[in-house]
Amino acid sequence: MDSQRKKPSLDHWHWLRTRVRCALPFSHGEDLIFARLNVETEAMVHCGQLDAWFAHEANFRLLHETALDLALPFAWRQQCLSRACRPIDVLEQLARDAAHRQRVSALSRRLAMTQLEQSLPLYSRHEARHHRQWRP
């Protein structure tokens, strides 16, 4: 049965990251996409297709940048921000020297200082048309 299992794919990892960045969860639940991204990241690292430090720092940046994107729904951004601590926890375990520990500390501070602003309002077609026509 193990021989029938798919090998982790860098393309699939990028596809999952794109779905997170664009707020496109799987139809059967938001949590699943985050879990799949974590599993896929670990599999890619385990198989040697991604460097562990690179992969987890990239996931932190993905989640943090997505959380700050005002064009995305606020609830999605909250999910991303709340999950950004997981890659930092892994990076703390991976830090073997002062430079890595300093990098983890900087990422942790960035996360701790993050404040979410409200997302941009959505306009209906009528509102958008009216909004474009209005000039001060």
pLDDT per position as a tens digit, 33-54 = 999 999 999 999 999 999 999 9
Instruction: Specify the amino acid at residue 33.
Output: I
Q: Which residues contact 30 (CB under 8 A, 6 or more apart)?
A: 76, 79
Model pTM score: 0.84
Q: Which residues contact 127 (CB under 8 A, 6 or more apart)?
A: none
What pLDDT does 6 receive? 67
What pLDDT does 29 receive? 74
Start-to-end CA distance of the chain, whole Å, equals: 67
In tens, the pLDDT along 74-85 reads 999 999 999 999
What pLDDT does 127 receive? 60
Q: Rounded to an integer, what distance in angstroms lies between the CA atom of residue 75 and that of residue 96?
A: 35
Q: Which residues of the chain have pLDDT under 70?
A: 1-6, 123-136
How do the domains of the chain map onto residue ranges? 7-133
